[in-house]
């Protein structure tokens, strides 16, 4: 390790770094001090996307996994999603709920997660109904793109050009499909580019998971966007990626595009993530979560991983030195709400 790496690691770490990042980025508004050109997206004229900071809905249904214990039952996944979005938006129909988040003039990036391959990926049974709902809401299929990092990860979701609605794109960026200029990321001594499918979109729908992560402690909604949509995610892992995930999530590119987060909680990975190296630590959870607040979702998801770890008599992430401090740092930057007492959490059991 050279002197530059030592200095960088010393600068980025723990609560002190998070506080420094918050001071650097926030001067009344967390997004006001982002360097470089304005890459914020703007919703179509007259359209105000639904937003409910701090509100999280969970729908749970026992027996919603197939007998193999890996994939959800398609009818159950669709109904759990519909019921969750009904509770969040007040719209009982899935297409009507989709209208709360996307407009016919939007270009939509749908970020999925298949890094752990088919045994622990965002499942097509949850993603495909929302694609159909957006099309029913008037978004042209050609304006919807499902995005992953690598082709193998996309294969893990079992989503392909053969099973999405005709015209919907299914692509991967392989850490290189970006057209924006390099952007310095405050507080990290690093720079990055977000990928073209994201920067050319006006709306982002984020399908994530509830997982242990060997570096970051826990990963869910935030990291699926910050590291899953950039060309050099490996440069933002020091000190358990805290506060780098928070700082990246505060960038205008993500904050102005994110419309909805959907968590595939049919399983929870308690240890051994992000890959599927220890299946003995993956448990059935049979739940779907929805929120417009990725920080609140990650606060709840972290709690679920800790519960699962306790069930296996594993040390807590904090005791292992892998506490995901970036969640509170993101809250400090105004990205969402991390305080459990301030999160409006509703669980529905079907």
The pTM (predicted TM-score) of the whole model is: 0.90
Per-residue model confidence (pLDDT) at position 37: 59
- Is pLDDT at 26 greater than 70 in this prediction? no
Q: Is the pLDDT of residue 261 over 60?
A: yes
Give every CB contact of residue 96 below 8 A, 6+ residues apart in sequence.
137
Count of beta carbons in the 10 Å neighbourhood of residue 282: 23
Query: Cα(223)–Cα(302) distance, rounded to whole angstroms?
Result: 13
- For residue 147, give the H/E element and its range: strand 144-148
pLDDT band at residue 19 using 50, 70 and 90 as cut-offs: low
**Alpha-carbon 21 to chain mean position:** 21
Write out pLDDT tens, residues 127-180.
Answer: 999 999 999 999 999 999 999 999 999 999 999 999 999 999 999 999 999 999
Q: What is the pLDDT of residues 218-237, one digit of tens each?
A: 999 999 999 999 999 898 88
**What DSSP character marks residue 44?**
P
| Residue boundaries of the structural domains of the chain | 3-26+54-349
């Amino acid at each position: 390790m050279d002197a530059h790496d030592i200095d960088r690691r010393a600068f980025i770490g723990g609560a002190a770094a998070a506080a420094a990042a918050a001071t650097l980025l926030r001067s009344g508004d967390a997004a006001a001090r982002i360097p470089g050109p304005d890459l914020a997206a703007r919703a179509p004229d007259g359209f105000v996307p639904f937003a409910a900071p701090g509100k999280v809905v969970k729908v749970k249904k026992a027996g919603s996994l197939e007998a193999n214990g890996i994939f959800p039952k398609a009818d159950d996944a669709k109904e759990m999603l519909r019921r969750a979005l009904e509770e969040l938006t007040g719209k009982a129909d899935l297409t009507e709920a989709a209208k709360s988040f996307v407009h016919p003039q939007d270009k939509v990036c749908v970020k999925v997660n298949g890094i752990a391959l088919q045994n622990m990926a965002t499942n097509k049974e949850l993603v495909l109904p929302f694609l159909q709902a957006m099309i029913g809401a008037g978004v042209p299929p050609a304006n919807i793109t499902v995005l992953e990092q690598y082709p193998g990860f996309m294969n893990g979701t079992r989503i392909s050009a053969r099973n999405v609605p005709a015209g919907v794109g299914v692509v991967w960026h392989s850490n290189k499909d970006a057209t924006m200029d390099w952007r310095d990321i405050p507080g990290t001594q690093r720079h990055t580019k977000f990928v073209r499918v994201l920067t050319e979109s006006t709306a982002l729908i984020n399908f994530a998971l509830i997982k242990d992560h060997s570096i970051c402690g826990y990963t869910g909604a935030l990291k699926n966007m910050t590291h899953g949509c950039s060309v050099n995610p490996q440069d933002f892992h020091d000190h358990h990626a805290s506060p780098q995930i928070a700082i990246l999530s505060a960038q205008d590119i993500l904050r102005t595009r994110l419309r909805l987060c959907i968590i595939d909680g049919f399983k929870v990975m308690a240890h051994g993530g992000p890959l599927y190296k220890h299946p003995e630590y993956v448990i059935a959870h049979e739940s779907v979560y929805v929120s417009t607040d990725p920080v609140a979702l990650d606060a709840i998801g972290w709690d679920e991983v800790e519960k699962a770890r306790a069930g296996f008599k594993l040390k807590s992430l904090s005791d292992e030195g892998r506490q995901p401090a970036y969640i509170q740092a993101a809250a400090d930057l105004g990205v969402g709400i991390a305080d459990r007492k301030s999160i409006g959490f509703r669980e529905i059991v079907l």
